[in-house]
């Protein structure tokens, strides 16, 4: 064996962003080849986060060395893979984890019930039973409730997205956003017109939900809306004044000149023929229940 001969070694994979880890054993085809594990069950972790490999122990490149490496790997994994939530290993020699046993049981169950499942599914569809007896809105609501329950469970157990800090989530979001932008996928795979249409649909759905549940703008009376509008206008004015934008981007003379031009404009009500400036005409039409769009500028 030379310094550049293929190796057999036990390794550990860790991730820069999260505390998950994975142990494995590898037999090289050539010295120093790139190898970061062969995940199956938790492949998502390798795809989403940044894996790092640490070689823990080298062994003779022989059948005996391979057996010894596997024995060491199993000795490391055995106390962890069913008890530590951060351990991604699901097998230890011929022994599989409880998660794998549950998954295999589910697959067996699905295999032997698939025919009856298809028949029952078709019958439920024809009779409008089960999931087919619920409207699209009800199914959407059910999905939202299920997501909320899982979110609360992850938050309580400190798993999933809650296994990492807010700063780490922000950093991952930035990285994934950059990747999506470069590959033209996700929101970056849609045209500006499609995103505008998506925004309209989302806004409409949100508005309908608020209206139905009497939340958001629909959860306050007209008086509170008026107060909020005044507060919002006050904040906007303060922001414009601070940043010298909007009206405050003009000098006092420019504002005076603009006001003179606006006041000198003459508008006529198309319902009554009354003529005055824009502001006074608005008050005139509102007082008489006339649509304020029913006007025309005459000078």
39 φ/ψ sector (left φ>0, alpha ψ -120 to 50, else beta): beta
Per the domain annotation, does 192 fall within a domain? yes
Distance CA 40, CA 22 (A): 12
**Is the confidence at residue 96, as pLDDT, over 70?**
no
| Residue 102 binned pLDDT confidence (cut-offs 50, 70, 90) | low
H or E segment to which residue 275 belongs: strand 275-276
Per the domain annotation, does 178 fall within a domain? no
101 φ/ψ sector (left φ>0, alpha ψ -120 to 50, else beta): alpha
Per the domain annotation, does 273 fall within a domain? yes
Could you tell me if 22 and 89 are in contact, meaning their C-beta atoms sit under 8 angstroms apart? yes
Per the domain annotation, does 73 fall within a domain? yes
Give residue 110's pLDDT.
Answer: 58
Q: Please tell me whether residues 214 and 198 are part of one structural domain.
A: yes
Q: What is the pLDDT of residues 2-56, one digit of tens each?
A: 678 899 999 999 999 999 999 999 999 899 899 998 777 788 899 889 999 999 9
Length of the chain: 299
Distance CA 133, CA 121 (A): 12
Q: Please tell me whether residues 205 and 226 are part of one structural domain.
A: no
Q: Please tell me whether residues 38 and 73 are part of one structural domain.
A: yes
Could you tell me if 294 and 265 are in contact, meaning their C-beta atoms sit under 8 angstroms apart? no
Looking at the structure of the chain, the number of domains it has is: 4
Q: Please tell me whether residues 45 and 77 are part of one structural domain.
A: yes
Q: Please tell me whether residues 54 and 16 are part of one structural domain.
A: yes
H or E segment to which residue 181 belongs: helix 166-183
Q: Look at residues 49, 68, 96 and tell me which one is the last residue of a structural domain.
A: 96
Q: Please tell me whether residues 213 and 224 are part of one structural domain.
A: no
Q: Averaging pLDDT over each range in 63-67, 128-132, 238-242, which range is the top one? A: 63-67
- The closest of 291, 255, 254, 286 to 270, measured between CA atoms, is 291
Give residue 101's pLDDT.
Answer: 43
Distance CA 12, CA 22 (A): 6
Could you tell me if 15 and 45 are in contact, meaning their C-beta atoms sit under 8 angstroms apart? yes
Q: Please tell me whether residues 24 and 49 are part of one structural domain.
A: yes
H or E segment to which residue 125 belongs: helix 98-127
| Mean pLDDT score, 215-235 | 77
Give residue 95's pLDDT.
Answer: 44
Q: Please tell me whether residues 205 and 282 are part of one structural domain.
A: no
Q: Which domain holds residue 262?
A: 255-299
Q: Please tell me whether residues 227 and 294 are part of one structural domain.
A: no
Per the domain annotation, does 88 fall within a domain? yes
Per the domain annotation, does 263 fall within a domain? yes
Distance CA 144, CA 136 (A): 12
Distance CA 42, CA 90 (A): 9
| Mean pLDDT score, 286-292 | 91
Q: What is the pLDDT of residues 73-88, one digit of tens each?
A: 888 988 887 788 898 8
Q: Please tell me whether residues 16 and 83 are part of one structural domain.
A: yes
Q: Look at residues 61, 96, 131 and tell me which one is the last residue of a structural domain.
A: 96
Per the domain annotation, does 134 fall within a domain? no
Q: What is the pLDDT of residues 137-194, one digit of tens each?
A: 777 777 777 777 877 887 888 777 777 787 877 887 788 778 878 777 777 778 888 8
Q: Please tell me whether residues 43 and 88 are part of one structural domain.
A: yes
Could you tell me if 25 and 93 are in contact, meaning their C-beta atoms sit under 8 angstroms apart? no
Q: Please tell me whether residues 22 and 82 are part of one structural domain.
A: yes
| Residue 274 binned pLDDT confidence (cut-offs 50, 70, 90) | very high
Per the domain annotation, does 138 fall within a domain? no
Give residue 28's pLDDT.
Answer: 92
Instruction: Among 53-67, 170-184, 284-298, name the one with the lowest average pLDDT.
Output: 170-184
| Mean pLDDT score, 81-105 | 65
């Amino acid at each position: 064996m030379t310094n550049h001969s293929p190796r057999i070694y036990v390794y550990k994979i860790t991730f820069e962003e999260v505390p998950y880890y994975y142990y494995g054993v590898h037999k090289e085809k050539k010295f120093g080849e790139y190898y970061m594990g062969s995940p199956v069950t938790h492949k998502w972790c390798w795809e989403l986060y940044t894996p790092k490999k640490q070689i823990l122990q080298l062994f003779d490149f022989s059948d005996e060395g391979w057996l010894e490496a596997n024995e060491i790997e199993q000795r490391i994994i055995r106390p962890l893979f069913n008890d530590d939530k951060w351990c991604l290993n699901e097998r230890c020699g011929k022994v599989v984890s409880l998660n794998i046993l549950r998954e295999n049981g589910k697959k067996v169950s699905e295999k032997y019930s698939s025919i009856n499942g298809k028949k029952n599914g078709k019958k439920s569809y024809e009779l409008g039973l089960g999931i087919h007896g619920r409207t699209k809105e009800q199914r959407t609501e059910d999905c939202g409730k299920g997501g909320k329950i899982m979110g609360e469970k992850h938050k309580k157990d400190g798993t999933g997205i809650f296994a990492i800090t807010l700063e780490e989530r922000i950093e991952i979001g930035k990285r994934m956003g950059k990747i999506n932008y470069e590959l033209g996928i996700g929101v970056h795979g849609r045209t500006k017109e499609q995103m505008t249409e998506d925004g309209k649909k989302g806004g409409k759905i949100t508005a309908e939900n608020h209206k139905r549940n009497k939340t958001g703008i629909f959860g306050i009376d007209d008086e509170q809306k008026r107060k909020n509008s005044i507060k919002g206008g006050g904040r906007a004015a303060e922001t414009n004044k601070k940043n010298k934008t909007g009206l405050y981007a003009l000098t006092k003379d420019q504002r005076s000149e603009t006001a003179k031009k606006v006041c000198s404009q003459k508008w006529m009500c198309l319902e009554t023929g009354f003529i005055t400036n824009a502001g006074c005409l608005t008050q005139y039409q509102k007082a008489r229940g006339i649509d304020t769009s029913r006007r025309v500028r005459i000078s």
